Every structure is written in structure tokens, then in C-alpha cells.
């Protein structure tokens, strides 16, 4: 089977987050911020290539919005090409990764960056539907692929 | 004589014990006491019997006797009868076949066998023998006959032409036994190469090819490996030119399989095809081959495909080698056409430098280019021109362009191609290195680094003016403040340049700047230059220079000396060329300079900090020690003799520290550090006078000196000396005396007790290392000292020390005696007393035992721990609760145990996992929470069957930790939870 995008453009990876002295102080409290969310999802592997979502610039720290006090996390992701058939799968893996790794108090929304995919609305709707996400996780084939993507995160 | 013959008739009739009787007969025959004819005549009744079982026994006896006779025993006439007889028996009854085959196997090897007899054998065998309906062993016998024929008598059968070939291939058609197959695969090439295949070529190929790719699962008993079968099979498939037309399509067809072994086998076969078949034949399939290779090399996205990709590249290189040898009018034409195809398909990847496949295609082209000068020239021309003509490039693109040009330049250098000889580049070749030089001055670190790496590769091809430019850039970089990775690249460029152009580098870079270096007061600048100089430690040419500049920068000024010693320390620590250290010790006088400077400085009580500063003294000691360690015994002796006079006070006179003046006390304290650096790594054959006195003096110094580095040196030196020089019964009294002395010191003022305890620990360690017979006494003493409320706590250090190994001291590199498994021996000895004392002693001293136990456990592996596990584990589990003081330390120990997959813990998973979960939620300290989570992470190494019942609980408990207030803890929770979530995911390979 041919690949949707056989020769994608590569971007640089960002440095590891630097641990500050404040991080090591037992009494300080750190809230969730966009970088922390970004760190959770940047290592997810693209279903087509052995490359991370960060390298392909599918996820970007600037497109993540977090409000800890309001319990809101919003992630926008950008498929490499407008007709990418893997967009749903990528969105699903981001969503599942966040569901597993964030405290349950957060309302997580994962959507496509406006104007970057042909069937944007359909995919956004699908990702926002709890039932469909749950159903996708029940599917053996789909969950194998998902696990493979998330394993590297 | 007659007796044997009479007996044999009965024996053969009954069918018992034929072998041993036949052996007697053979012996008689070969000793000429009996003739073969007589033997056959006596068997008349049996061999002509109407009962086929009796006849069979007769043939068996006949063959058994035959097999015991020498290969040159029969005359041609006799052999003729024998072979005729065997042929008749072969068609007598099907049950005779196995035994007759053994007979034939033996007779074909006989000296006097003639062509006629061999032909007779095969004329009988061919119409009457169906190999595949025989048992495995009999088939093996037949293949052995074939093996002998192929090797020695093939010419006799050549006239039979296709008939014989057909006999061979039909005998192996459908063979399934791996042992037979491996034999066949080994012998077939010899046959196929020397026998005309004619119209049966395709048939023959099909019979062999049906095994490709080999599908064979090795078991533990099988002596044959899959690889062995596969290699031999592919050799058969490519051994004759006639197979070319069938073999290449076969390989290409199987290459499209999804199985990795099939792919690898096919690639290997394809490579052999390229190597063995006529290039003209290969040429016909070239486009097909490239289509598939391209797919594998360029676009295979599987993670595990590296091996396949490499194999594919090796096929491609084999293919190109094959094309280069096509001779004829259009010698280069084929190669050129193919190169065009390759370049055309990589072209689109070369255009977009930012795309994923840019560097892989450059790498592919480099391996292609390395196959012939022609290919190299063609590729270099194409790629250089594409890259040089790129304009409007972004930052990331520049980095990749430079990397690519570096790779191509490397290819040209390896093929010894002059850049100026590349067509199309005659006027532009200098641009390439200029491009590198230009970007080496770029502000952006990434660009600078890639340009430096490219320059490193192309050092040799820089022209004169470019080199001048390059040197200026290097000087500038060395001088300026640059981040570590860039400095590393700069220095490796400097090193490479110094290797290729040592005089020039010395003149243009070093000499010019050395004056500045020596006169400047800028410490930072000096440090940078010294660092740069020290990286030339591999080149003999620079030895004197390094040694001189280091000496020149060691002075009364503390800061300068400090940085110089730091450079020197790094240099001797990472030295590659041992000659440098010899140079320091003798020709360069560096060692001499350092030692005399410090000896004089300390002795004259010069008022400079460098003679008192701990770091400096430690560096000096390290450097001297490292140099002494590598030189020869005689050279060590020379150094010792030269300097021992300065240490007379410590080595030859009894010191009474308390009665000395303050100044004297200071001198002694610092001198012992230097003395240790010289004595520490002496070979044991070098004898010291008055070792006992020296040991006592060292103990005196270690006890009373109030300088911590001096204490350490003195007590360590004591330990080294005892380890190296105190042996034999006559010295036992000394050890006892030392013990008595130290015991009395313990009653001294509490000021010195710390020192005494440390000294006791060092001596205990020294004795334990060499398993001295007094060792257990000292260990017992140490154990008892733990109970003391005053100094028990310090004593725990001893139990830590016993499990630790120091890089520079008390090890085999310093020529100390270190017995195998000494750590384990101590552990077994101390662990039970420690545990029982822990359980019985009062609260005040309890923790001393606990800490010692933890130290001991940390230093030993599971194998040592296992017998004591049932005793230690409850103690550990008890500690895993948030209110315990030592929870972090014990958690760390526990984590180490889990990390090394200690098997015993598997059975206790359900008792400690809840404790760990509790710790990770409720501990006040983030460090404890983190280590507890790491423990939980490591638990996943145990077998799934134990983990599954706990999975649900762990995951739900871990979810509670996800909202931890510390980010570092959250990171750990995510890591652990993901691991637990994926424990039961079936991997692809399962």
C-alpha cells in the first residue's frame, strides 16, 4: 500500500525541559502548563513513519492551551497534508494519551488546527464523541496500532 | 581356519552376532590366512538359499566382511566379480537395497575400481532405485556415494549425460531431511559446475529452488542452523551460469514477501547473483532489481528494517561492481545508464533538503559512489552542483546541505578522487571548502557545528590559502567563549589539522599564540589554549611542546596553577598514547618539575596557597600517581631512588607527632600526600626499607593530623602498604600490635576518634582485599564498634567502604592484591550478625546496624543476597512505610534490587506493591515519591502472570497520583502508569 505522504518535511526537536531549583523544592506547587502537555504528546509516533509528532510538527507547543484552575486542556494538531487519512488516528492517539496521563478533573479537547485538513469538522466531531473514542479502544486492531504509536511517548 | 568358516554359516543362518564373527573373518582374510574366495564358497548354501531372509543375512555378512578389508585389498578382477554380485543382489529383492548400498558405498572408494564397474552400478541403480521411498539413513548412504563420485569419478560418468543428471535430481526431488539436505547443498555445486546440464537446467534449478527461502526452525538438538542451510542453498542456486535466467526472477519474486528472513535471504541471493553471474545477464533485469531495491532503501518505514536496508545497499554495490566489469565497446555505457536511473530516482529527494529522505538518499549515493571511480565522479558532479546552486536556503536547510556535502566529500577522499578532477567542477571545486569555511563563522551554533564537522572531513583537501583561513577560524574559536559541543568539534578539527599538517599548525596556530598565552594574565584564555594543546596528546611531534607549556604555567599564582593542573589531570586520565606519559616521566621532565616544585614548596613552608590547597594537592597527587602507574618497574625504581631522600623524615625516623612543632606537623602532613602519590602504584617487586616504621608513622599522621586530605592520604597509604608488603606469619604480630595501638587510641580525646575509626576501616578493607588470615578478627572488631553510641555511626562507613571499589587506589591496577569474591565473602560473614544485632539492640544504636545492612546490600548482587533473602526482606518491608526515617535509603536499595530483576521478589509482589503505592501517594517528600514510583516501574519486569492480578489496583491508585503538586513526580507517574497499562500488550514478534 502506498503511503499518503512518503517524503514528509522534518523539523527540529526542542530541548528537554530544564529542571529548575524551584522544581526540586518540596514546598513549591507547580501547575500544569502547555509545555508539560506538549511533553506528554510530542513523543507519539506517526502511524506512517518512525518519526515523532514533534519532528513532523503535527503538534506544537504554541497550539496548546491549558488552564489549570478551570480544568481545561485544549490541543490543536496539524496533519502534514490536507488529505492525510491518518488524521483521525493521530487525533485519537493524542486524545487517549492525554486521557491516560492527566488527572480526571480535566476536560480534554483535541481538534484539528482550523483550515489544515479537508474533512476537519467530521474528524473533530468524531474525536469529541466519548462513545466513539471508547468504542475505538475496544477494537483490537485499532488499539494495537494506537498502543504502538503511544508506546514511544 | 575351517572353524571360523563353519561357525559363520550357523551364525549367519540364525542372524545373530553377524558383525563380530565377520570381523574375525575379515581379520583372517587380511592376514592372508584365508582367502575371500574361500569365505564366499563357504557361504554358498546361504547365498543361494531360497529363503530370502537367509539370503539377506548372507548379503549382510558379505558386506560386513567387505567393509573391514583395506581399500587396496582386491585386484580389479576380484572387484569385478564383487560388483557384479552386488548389482545382482540390488535387484534381487527390495529389502536388500539398504545393505547393498552400503556395500557399493564402500567398493566405489576402492583403489582398483574401474570405470566399467561404476557404470555398471549406475546402470543397475538408475532403473531400479527410487531414492525417496527409502529411509533417511539409506538416502544418506546414496548421497554419500554421490559425494564420492562427484569428487573423484565424475569423468567416468560424463558419457551418460542427461541420464545421470536425471538420476541425481530425481533422487533428491522432495528430500525433506535437513541432514541430507545440507549434505546435498554442499556437494551439488561441485557437480553442477563440472557436469553439462543441457536441457535439464531448468528442471535441476526447480528441484533445488523449491527450498528457497529456507523454512526451518532450529531446535536445541539440531546441529544444523537455518543460516547454514540458507547460505549453502544460495550457493547452489548461483553456482552455474545456466541458472541465471531462473535465479534472478526467483530472488526478486521472494523479495516482495513480507517476512524479514525471506527478504534477507532474497537479498543475499541477489547479491550472489550479481557476484557470480555474467554481468550481461544481470543487465537484463537491472530495472526490475532497482525498482525493488529503491522501495526498500528509500521508502521502507519499518523500524526494524535497518538490517534489510543494509543488505539491500550491499546488493546495490555488488550490482554496480558487476556493471563496472562489462567489457566491450560501450564499456561505461551500462554503468552510466544505471547510474542515471539511480540519480533520476534520487533526484526528487535531493531537491527538498528538509524532507525526511534527503540524508538517506545522500548516504545511498555515497555507497554507490564507493564502488568505482566512474560512479564516484558522476555522483559527486551531480550532487555538488545541485547543492552549490541552491539559493535562498533556510537555517535548517544549510545544516543539511553542509552535512550532505561533507558526506560526498568523504566519499571522494575515500576513493582518492581529486575534487578538481570532477567534471563540471574544474572551476568551482574550491567553492565547496569555502562554503564550509564561510559557515564555520556563522553565528548559529548548529550551522557552525555542521560546518566544522565537514571541515574536519575535508582537512586534507584544503588548499594553502584555505588552510590559512581555516587556522584563523580555529584560533578565533579556541579563543572565544563557545558552548561545549562546539568546543568539542573545534578541538577535534584542531586535532585533525595537527595530525595532517603538524609543522604548519605548530607555526601558524601554536607558536604565534603561545607567546600571548605565556604573557597574558587572562586566566580564561590560558585555560582555553591549554585545553586545546592537551588535545594533541596523541601526536609525538607535540609532546615536548605540551610538556613545556604545562610546566611554564605552573607557578605561584594559584588560579593559573589550578587550571593547568586541571588540564594535565584530564590529559593523563584520558591518555591514548602511553608514550606521552613516558615523555612526562623522563624526557620532558614534567614529573620531575612538579615533584621538586611541591617538595621544595612544602619543605620551605613557602607562603603560597598552592602548596596548601586541597584541590591542587589532589590534582598533583593524581597526576604523579597516574604517571608512575604506567612506567616500567626499573623506571619506577629510578623515580623512587631519586625522590626518597626528600621523604627521609617519614620513611626512616620514628615520628611522634604531638612533640613536633606546628611547622613540622604541617610539613609532614603535606609531604605524606606526595609520598602516597609515588608509592601508591609501585609494583610489588620493588622493596621498601623499613615498611613497618613507615606504616606506624602513617598511622600516627592519620590519627593526629588535623587536615582531612592528609588524614585520608595517610590512612589510605597505610592500607596500601599493608596490602602489598605485610605477608606471612612473622608479620602477624605487627597486625596485632597495630590493633592494640589503635584500641588504645580509641580511649584518647574524642577529637581524634573519627580519624582512628577511619584508619581502622581502611586497614580492615586492606586485609579483606587480600583475604589475610587476620581479616575476620578485624571485621569482628568493626562489628563490635558499631554498638558504641559515640562512634558507632562513623563505623558504618567501614561497611560502605568494604563494598566499594576506588578507581585509583587499592585495586589491581595499583598492583595491590585483590582476591576474587572478597566482597561476597565479607557479606556472608557479616550479614547474619548485623541482622540479629539489629533485632536485639536498643533504639539508640539500632540504626547503625540498619545502615550497615543497607550498605552491604547495595554493594552486592542478588546471587550473594539470595540465601539471606528471607531474613532481610521482612526488615526491608518494615521500612517501606512513610513514618520510617530511613525510608529513602531503603527504597533506593529496594529499587536497585528490582532493577536487577531479583527473582525472589516476584513472590512478594502483592505484599510490597500496596506499600509502594501508599508511599507514592502519601509521602511528604518528593524524592521518596519518585523512587517509590521508580520501584513500581521496575516491577513490570516480572512475569505477566504475577502482574495481571495487580494491574487494575495499580492503575487506579496511580491515577490518584497524577494530580501531584510536583511536576517531576507527575512525570514519573506518567512513565510508570504507561508501563503498567502496556504490560499485557502483545508484541509483534510474539
**Secondary structure of chain A: what % helix, strand, coil (to 5)?**
35, 15, 45
B924 touches chain A (CB under 8 A): yes
Angle at B474 between CA B469 and CA B478, to 5 degrees: 150
Q: Does A103 touch chain B (CB under 8 A)?
A: yes
Q: Residue A105, class by beta-carbon neighbours within 10 Å (0-12 exposed, 13-18 middle, 19+ buried)?
A: exposed
Q: What is the pLDDT of residue A1?
A: 41
Report whether B15 contacts B57 (CB < 8 A): yes
B591 burial (CB, 10 Å; 0-12 / 13-18 / 19+) is buried
Collect all residues with Cβ–Cβ distance below 8 Å to B390 and sequence separation of at least 6: B353, B397, B401
Strands A59-67 and A72-77, sheet pairing: antiparallel
**Is residue A19 within 8 angstroms of chain B, CB to CB?**
yes
In chain B, residues with a C-beta closer than 8 Å to the C-beta of A50 are 301-303
Residues in chain B: 990
- For residue A26, give the nearest of B302, B926, B959 by CB distance: B926
DSSP B275-331: HHS-HHHHHHHHHHHHHHHHHHHHH---GGGHHHHHHHHHHHHHHHHHHHT--STTT
- Selected residue of B296, B348, B356 to mutate for chain A interface (largest A Cβ count, 10 A): B356
Calculate the alpha carbon distances from B550 to A55, B145, B545, B579, B757 in Å: 46, 78, 8, 17, 40
- Best residue in A12, A51, A86, A100 for a mutation probing chain B (most B CBs within 10 Å): A100
Of the partner residues B301, B963, B977, the one whose CB lies closest to the CB of residue A48: B301
Angle of CA points B233, B238, B241, to nearest 5°: 150
Contact: B978, A153; criterion CB under 8 Å? yes
Q: How would DSSP label each residue in B925-976?
A: -HHHHHHHHHHHHHHTTS-HHHHHHHHHHHHHHHHHHTT-S-HHHHHHHHHH
Burial status of residue B572 (CB atoms within 10 A of its CB: 0-12, 13-18, 19 or more): buried
CB-based contact B974 A101, cutoff 8 Å: yes
| CA distance linking residue B601 with residue B554, whole number of Å | 13
For B508, the grid coordinates are: 601558524
How is chain B split among helix, strand and coil, in percent rounded to 5?
Answer: 75, 0, 25
Burial class of residue B791 (count of CB atoms within 10 Å of its CB; 0-12, 13-18, 19+): middle
Do residue B962 and residue A101 have CB atoms under 8 angstroms apart? yes
d(CA A31, CA A34): 10
Between the alpha carbon of residue B63 and those of residues B57, B67, B89, the distances in Å are: 10, 6, 11
Angle at B439 between CA B436 and CA B441, to 5 degrees: 120
Cβ atoms A18, A75 nearer than 8 A: no
DSSP A10: P
Residue from the list A11, A26, A50 with its beta carbon closest to the beta carbon of B301: A50
Mean pLDDT of all residues in chain A? 88
B301 contacts in A (CB within 8 Å)? Answer: 3, 48-50
User: Which chain B positions have a beta carbon within 8 Å of A49's beta carbon?
Assistant: 301, 356
Quick check: A75 and A81 in contact, CB under 8 A?
no
So what's the pLDDT on residue B1?
52
* Cβ within 8 Å, pair B968-A8: no
How far apart are the C-alpha atoms of B65 and B26, rounded to whole Å?
5
pTM, to two decimals: 0.73
**Could you tell me if A30 lies within 8 Å of chain B, comparing CB atoms?**
yes
CA-wise closest residue to B477 among B465, B464, B462, B492: B492
Question: What DSSP state is assigned to residue B153?
Answer: I
| pLDDT at res. A7 | 74
Q: Which of B357, B924, B970 sits opposite A7 (nearest CB)?
A: B357
> How many angstroms away from the CA of A2 is the closest CA of chain B?
10
Interchain CB contact of B966 with A (< 8 Å): yes
Q: In order along chain B (990 residues), what is the average pLDDT of each group of 10 residues?
A: 72 79 86 87 86 88 89 89 90 88 91 90 88 90 92 88 90 88 92 90 91 84 86 91 90 84 89 87 84 75 67 84 65 75 83 81 86 87 87 83 92 88 83 89 89 92 90 90 91 92 88 77 85 88 89 84 91 87 86 91 78 88 92 91 89 87 88 92 88 91 88 93 87 88 83 89 92 90 88 88 87 90 90 90 85 86 81 81 76 85 83 90 89 93 90 92 91 93 67
Task: Pick A16 or A5 by higher pLDDT.
Answer: A16
Per the CB < 8 A criterion, the answer to whether B736 and B773 are in contact is: no
CB contact under 8 A, B959 and A11: no
Amino acid at each position: 500500500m502506498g503511503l499518503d505522504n512518503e517524503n514528509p518535511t522534518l523539523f527540529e526537536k526542542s530541548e528537554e525541559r530544564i529542571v529548575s531549583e524551584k522544581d526540586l523544592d518540596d514546598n513549591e506547587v507547580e501547575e500544569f502548563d502547555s509545555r508539560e502537555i506538549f511533553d506528554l504528546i510530542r513523543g507519539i509516533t506517526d502511524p506512517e513513519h518512525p518519526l515523532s509528532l514533534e519532528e513532523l510538527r503535527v503538534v506544537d507547543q504554541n497550539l496548546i492551551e491549558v488552564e489549570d484552575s478551570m480544568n481545561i486542556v485544549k490541543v490543536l494538531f496539524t496533519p502534514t497534508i490536507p488529505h492525510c487519512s491518518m488524521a483521525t488516528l493521530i487525533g485519537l492517539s493524542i486524545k487517549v494519551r492525554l486521557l491516560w496521563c492527566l488527572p480526571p478533573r480535566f476536560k480534554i479537547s483535541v481538534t484539528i488546527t482550523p483550515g489544515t485538513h479537508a474533512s476537519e469538522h467530521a474528524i473533530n466531531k468524531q474525536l469529541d464523541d466519548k462513545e466513539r473514542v471508547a468504542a475505538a479502544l475496544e477494537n483490537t486492531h485499532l488499539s494495537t496500532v494506537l498502543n504502538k504509536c503511544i508506546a514511544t511517548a | 581356519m575351517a572353524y571360523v568358516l563353519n561357525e559363520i554359516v550357523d551364525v549367519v543362518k540364525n542372524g545373530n552376532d553377524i558383525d563380530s564373527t565377520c570381523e574375525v573373518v575379515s581379520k583372517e582374510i587380511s592376514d592372508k590366512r584365508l582367502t575371500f574366495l574361500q569365505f564366499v564358497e563357504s557361504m554358498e548354501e546361504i547365498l543361494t538359499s531360497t529363503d530370502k531372509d537367509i539370503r539377506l543375512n548372507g548379503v549382510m555378512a558379505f558386506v560386513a566382511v567387505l567393509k573391514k578389508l583395506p581399500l587396496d585389498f582386491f585386484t580389479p578382477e576380484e572387484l569385478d566379480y564383487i560388483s557384479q554380485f552386488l548389482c545382482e543382489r540390488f535387484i534381487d529383492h527390495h529389502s536388500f537395497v539398504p545393505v547393498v548400498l552400503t556395500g557399493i558405498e564402500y567398493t566405489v572408494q576402492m583403489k582398483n575400481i574401474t570405470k566399467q564397474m561404476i557404470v555398471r552400478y549406475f546402470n543397475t541403480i538408475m532403473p531400479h532405485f527410487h531414492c525417496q521411498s527409502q529411509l533417511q539413513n539409506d538416502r544418506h548412504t546414496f548421497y554419500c556415494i554421490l559425494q564420492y563420485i562427484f569428487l573423484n569419478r565424475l569423468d567416468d560418468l560424463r558419457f551418460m549425460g542427461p541420464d545421470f543428471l536425471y538420476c541425481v535430481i530425481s533422487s533428491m526431488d522432495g528430500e525433506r531431511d535437513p541432514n541430507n539436505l545440507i549434505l546435498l547443498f554442499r556437494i551439488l555445486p561441485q557437480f553442477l559446475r563440472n557436469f553439462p546440464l543441457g536441457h535439464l537446467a531448468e528442471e535441476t534449478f526447480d528441484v533445488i529452488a523449491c527450498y528457497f527461502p529456507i523454512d526451518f526452525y532450529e531446535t536445541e538438538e539440531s546441529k544444523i542452523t537455518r543460516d547454514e542451510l540458507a547460505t549453502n542453498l544460495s550457493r547452489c542456486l548461483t553456482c552455474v551460469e545456466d541458472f541465471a535466467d531462473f535465479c534472478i526472477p526467483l530472488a526478486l519474486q521472494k523479495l516482495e514477501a513480507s517476512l524479514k528472513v525471506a527478504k534477507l535471504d532474497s537479498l543475499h541471493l541477489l547479491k550472489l547473483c550479481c557476484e557470480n553471474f555474467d554481468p550481461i545477464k544481470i543487465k537484463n533485469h537491472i530495472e526490475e532489481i532497482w525498482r525493488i531495491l529503491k522501495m526498500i532503501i528509500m521508502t521502507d518505514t519499518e523500524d526494524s528494517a535497518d538490517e534489510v536496508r543494509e543488505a539491500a545497499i550491499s546488493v546495490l554495490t555488488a550490482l554496480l561492481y558487476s556493471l563496472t566489469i562489462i567489457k566491450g565497446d560501450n564499456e561505461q555505457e551500462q554503468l552510466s545508464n544505471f547510474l542515471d536511473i539511480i540519480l533520476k530516482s534520487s533526484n526528487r529527494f535531493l531537491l527538498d533538503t528538509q524532507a525526511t529522505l534527503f540524508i538517506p538518499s545522500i548516504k545511498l549515493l555515497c555507497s554507490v559512489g564507493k564502488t568505482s571511480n566512474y560512479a564516484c565522479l558522476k555522483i559527486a558532479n551531480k550532487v555538488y552542483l545541485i547543492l552549490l546552486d541552491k539559493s535562498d536556503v533556510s537555517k535548517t536547510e544549510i545544516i543539511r546541505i553542509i552535512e550532505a556535502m561533507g558526506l560526498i566529500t568523504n566519499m571522494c577522499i575515500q576513493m582518492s578522487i581529486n575534487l578538481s578532477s570532477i567534471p563540471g567542477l574544474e572551476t568551482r571545486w574550491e567553492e565547496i571548502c569555502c562554503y564550509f569555511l564561510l559557515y564555520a563563522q556563522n553565528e548559529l551554533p548548529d550551522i557552525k557545528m555542521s560546518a566544522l564537522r565537514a571541515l574536519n572531513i575535508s582537512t586534507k583537501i584544503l588548499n594553502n590559502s584555505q588552510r590559512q583561513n581555516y587556522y584563523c577560524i580555529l584560533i578565533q574559536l579556541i579563543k572565544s567563549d563557545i558552548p561545549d559541543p562546539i568546543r568539542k568539534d573545534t578541538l577535534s578539527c584542531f586535532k585533525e589539522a595537527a595530525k595532517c599538517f603538524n609543522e604548519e599548525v605548530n607555526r601558524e596556530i601554536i607558536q604565534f599564540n603561545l607567546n600571548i598565552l605565556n604573557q597574558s594574565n587572562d586566566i580564561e584564555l590560558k585555560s582555553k589554549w591549554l585545553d586545546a594543546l592537551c588535545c594533541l596528546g596523541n601526536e609525538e611531534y607535540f609532546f615536548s611542546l605540551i610538556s613545556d607549556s604545562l610546566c611554564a604555567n605552573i607557578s605561584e599564582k594559584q588560579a593559573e596553577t589550578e587550571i593547568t593542573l586541571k588540564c594535565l589531570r584530564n590529559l593523563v586520565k584520558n591518555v591514548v598514547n602511553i608514550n606521552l606519559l613516558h615523555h612526562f616521566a623522563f624526557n620532558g621532565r614534567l614529573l620531575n618539575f612538579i615533584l621538586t616544585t611541591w617538595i621544595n614548596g612544602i619543605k620551605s613552608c613557602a607562603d603560597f596557597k598552592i602548596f596548601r590547597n586541597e584541590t591542587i594537592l589532589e590534582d598533583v597527587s593524581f597526576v604523579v600517581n597516574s604517571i608512575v602507574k604506567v612506567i616500567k618497574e626499573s623506571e619506577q625504581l629510578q623515580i623512587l631512588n631519586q625522590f626518597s631522600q626528600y621523604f627521609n623524615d617519614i620513611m626512616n625516623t620514628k615520628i611522634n607527632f604531638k612533640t613536633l612543632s606546628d611547622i613540622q606537623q604541617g610539613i609532614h602532613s603535606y609531604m605524606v600526600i606526595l609520598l602516597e602519590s609515588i608509592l601508591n602504584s609501585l609494583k610489588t617487586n620493588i622493596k621498601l626499607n623499613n615498611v613497618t616504621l613507615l606504616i606506624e608513622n602513617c598511622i600516627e599522621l592519620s590519627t593526629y593530623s588535623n587536615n582531612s586530605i592528609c588524614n585520608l592520604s595517610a590512612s589510605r597509604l597505610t592500607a596500601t602498604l599493608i596490602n602489598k608488603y605485610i605477608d606471612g606469619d612473622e608479620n602477624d604480630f605487627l597486625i596485632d600490635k597495630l590493633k592494640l595501638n589503635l584500641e588504645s587510641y580509641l580511649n584518647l580525646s574524642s577529637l581524634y576518634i573519627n580519624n582512628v575509626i577511619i584508619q581502622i576501616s581502611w586497614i580492615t578493607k586492606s586485609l579483606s582485599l587480600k583475604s589475610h588470615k587476620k581479616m575476620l578478627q578485624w571485621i569482628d572488631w568493626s562489628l563490635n564498634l558499631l554498638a558504641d553510641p559515640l562512634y558507632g555511626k562513623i563505623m558504618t562507613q567501614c561497611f560502605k567502604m568494604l563494598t566499594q571499589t576506588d578507581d585509583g587506589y587499592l585495586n589491581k591496577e595499583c598492583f595491590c592484591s585483590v582476591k576474587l569474591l572478597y566482597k561476597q565473602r565479607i557479606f556472608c560473614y557479616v550479614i547474619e550478625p548485623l541482622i540479629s544485632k539489629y533485632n536485639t539492640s536498643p533504639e539508640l544504636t539500632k540504626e547503625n546496624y540498619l545502615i550497615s545492612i543497607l550498605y552491604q546490600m547495595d554493594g552486592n548482587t542478588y546471587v550473594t543476597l539470595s540465601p539471606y533473602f528471607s531474613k532481610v526482606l521482612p526488615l526491608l518491608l518494615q521500612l517501606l512505610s512513610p513514618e520510617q526515617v530511613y525510608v529513602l535509603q531503603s527504597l533506593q536499595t529496594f529499587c536497585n534490587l528490582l532493577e536487577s530483576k531479583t527473582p525472589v521478589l516476584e513472590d512478594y509482589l502483592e505484599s510490597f506493591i500496596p506499600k509502594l503505592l501508599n508511599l507514592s501517594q502519601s509521602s511528604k517528600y518528593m524524592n521518596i515519591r519518585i523512587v517509590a514510583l521508580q520501584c513500581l516501574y521496575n516491577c513490570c519486569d516480572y512475569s505477566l502472570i504475577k502482574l495481571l492480578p495487580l494491574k487494575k489496583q495499580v492503575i487506579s491508585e496511580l491515577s490518584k497520583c497524577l494530580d501531584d503538586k510536583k511536576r517531576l513526580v507527575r512525570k514519573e507517574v506518567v512513565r510508570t502508569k504507561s508501563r503498567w497499562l502496556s504490560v499485557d500488550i502483545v508484541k509483534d514478534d510474539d
